[in-house]
Amino acid sequence: MLKYMLKEMRVHHYVKNFLVYAALVCSGKFFDAEKLMPVTLIFVAFCFTSSIVYMINDIKDVEKDRNHPTKCKRPIAAGNISISLAIFVCVVLFVVATVCCIASRSLMASFLLFLYLCLNVAYSMGLKNVPILDVSILVSGFLLRLICGAVAADIVVSNWLYLTVISLAFYLALGKRRNELKKTAGNTRSVLKKYPESFLDKNMYLFLALAIVFYALWSVDPVTIGFYGLAAKGLVWTVPILCLITLRYSFDVEGDSDGDPVEVVVHDIPLMLLCVVYAMCMFLLLYVLHD
């Protein structure tokens, strides 16, 4: 039963919530315990809240999921977990997430997390069937993660980084929709029938280009260089690494993948290695060479 519950909670998707730490990492103060603790509490709250969202969505779409080639294997759709048990677990997770928010002592971060929950519940209840709005809500989830972490740690984030995250999130969301449409011909998600494949294809790469441009502008921004000092001059050389990461990701998405970002990354070892190289370079620049 525990195995099925962890699968239903989408624990492997918690990797998305590490975006909560992005502002803290980029500030060069990741090892500051006073800032790390509230961000970690918000991270835990986000993990449990995202599980609530997944479970509510699966309860709402249980009949549709049973007709989906892969979603039919989800515990609720497959009958491995009862709806009543799933609701009970959602209540428990909500209580734990609330306790974490209170312990973080960040009212604004707690409010933003609650906003994330409300937006995604509304998404599950019907907004996911409205084109453009559906992907916008998915993008808001990534943005709220970044903002929550920044607010909890009391850190100001560069506008260039905000724009980078927004653009990259649109790329991921549109790519997921594109591959869902190609694999199922729109038979499992009604909104897919409203999206022309060419629209999704063109715009996902438009947002990818914007993401790389915004990131490059952040890396050479005088404010960034002034903040990080001499080490900031090396940030521009992380742009080619980001290009390689997105190229590899696009290569996977153009293949037989369903476009789910987590599934794409965890099943591609070269892509994971590129992400590790990027993380090591950023750590070196922001924590070792920072003056």
Q: Which of the 8 DSSP states describes residue 258? A: -
Q: CA triplet 171, 173, 174: central angle to 5 degrees? A: 65
Percent of the chain having pLDDT more than 90? 52
pTM of the predicted protein model = 0.90
CATH number belonging to the domain at 1-157, selected among 1.10.357.140, 3.40.50.720, 1.10.760.10, 1.10.150.110? 1.10.357.140
pLDDT surpasses 60 at 186: no
pLDDT digits (tens, 9 = 90+) for 63-73: 777 776 777 77
- The predicted pLDDT at position 279 comes to 92
Give the residue extent of every domain in the chain. 1-157, 159-291
The answer to whether the Cα torsion of 66, 69, 71, 74 is positive or negative is positive
Q: What is the mean pLDDT of residues 183-209?
A: 82
Q: For the chain, what is the mean pLDDT?
A: 88
pLDDT digits (tens, 9 = 90+) for 157-170: 899 999 999 999 99
pLDDT surpasses 60 at 116: yes
- The predicted pLDDT at position 205 comes to 93
pLDDT surpasses 90 at 94: yes
Place of tokens 């293949």: 255
Q: What is the mean pLDDT of residues 96-118?
A: 94
- The predicted pLDDT at position 267 comes to 84
Asked whether the beta carbons of 253 and 179 are under 8 A apart, the reply is yes
CA dist., res. 262 & res. 14, Å (int): 9
